Amino acid sequence: MSDLKQMWIMTKYQFKNYMRAKRLYILLLITALVIALIVSVNVYFGNPSEEEVKKTASSFANFSEILVVLTALFFGGDAIAGEYQNKTGYFLLPNPIRRYVIYWGKYLASLLAGVIVLLFYLISGMLYTFYFHGTIPSEYLYSMLYSFVFLVSLLAFTYLFSTFFKNGAVALTIVAILYFFVFNIIDGVSQIASVEPWFSITYAAGIITLVFQGSYIGDYPHSQVIHAGKGLTITAYNPYLCEGVAIMLGYFLISAIIGTLIFQRKEMK
């Protein structure tokens, strides 16, 4: 019970950090600019009221994957590493509070901040879709749900890297490189090698937009062989919806266990 209470206190002060350091406001501002951009481009170059409702809704879902990455980097990158980098660990750690309580208290604050940003974005998308069509497709709600699952897992993955390093900027850069480059390269190589990249979180996150394909939810091919000429074939894989969720939850579980264990043993030298 006291551990839970301490965890809540950590969450409260970490969240205060996001407010005072203006990180939350900055990310909300960036999100607002993106929303404005999507709406203006769609309205200026297209005719949302004439197009299919799923297409209107998916125009918002496309960016939510990137927004989750930004959120994880903003709130998770230096959450643990910062304690070592700024020496605040000397203030916080020699107290009667278990390390995992600190770790998960901070994680919950990051998650809360991330949920606020994501909700702001996705509710804007809902309102936009509803404005032009008077309805919100169920695909959009599924996409929202998958976006939150992705947030939970990517944040845990970012926290894991934050425990590896003693410098927040390094942790943040590594996760950004991993996400934007390494995983995409792995996905690409897997296509050429005809191996399903079930171990890639970006592959799993694809379900956020895949849900809009086909005539019903989940109506898309799991794999497609494409002949690229000169005998070269590429296999494009799409994760099943439950498979995508399972991969993301797997990332969450493994990151959570390893991250907690590392922080438990990590020293302030």
- The binding site for another protein (CB under 8 A) comprises 2, 5-6, 9-10, 13, 16-17, 20-21, 86-98, 265, 267-269
In the bound complex, what is the minimum distance in angstroms from residue 85's beta carbon to another protein?
A: 8
As measured in angstroms, the least distance from the Cβ of 162 to another protein is 16
Please check whether residue 151 is in contact with residue 114, taking contact to mean a CB–CB distance below 8 angstroms.
yes
Smallest distance, Å, CB 75 to another protein?
14
Do residues 72 and 202 touch, judged by C-beta distance below 8 A? no
Integer Cα distance of 45 and 269 in angstroms:
57
C-beta closer to another protein: residue 36 or 92: 92
Please say which residue, 5 or 227, places its beta carbon nearer to another protein. Answer: 5
205-to-146, 183, 184 alpha-carbon distances in Å: 8, 11, 12
Q: Which residues contact 244 (CB under 8 A, 6 or more apart)?
A: 146, 203, 204, 205, 206, 207, 210
When the beta carbons of 230 and 265 are compared against another protein, the nearer one is: 265
- Judged by CB, which is closer to another protein: 24, or 61? 24
Least gap, CB of 72 to another protein (angstroms): 21
- Closest to 115 (Cα-Cα) out of 159, 80, 150, 164: 150
Task: Please choose, from the candidates 11, 146, 9, the residue with its C-alpha nearest in 3D space to the C-alpha of residue 75.
Answer: 11
Instruction: Write down the least CB distance from residue 99 to another protein, Å.
Output: 8
Nearer to another protein, 7 or 201 (CB): 7
- Distance between CA atoms of 165 and 248, rounded to whole angstroms? 23
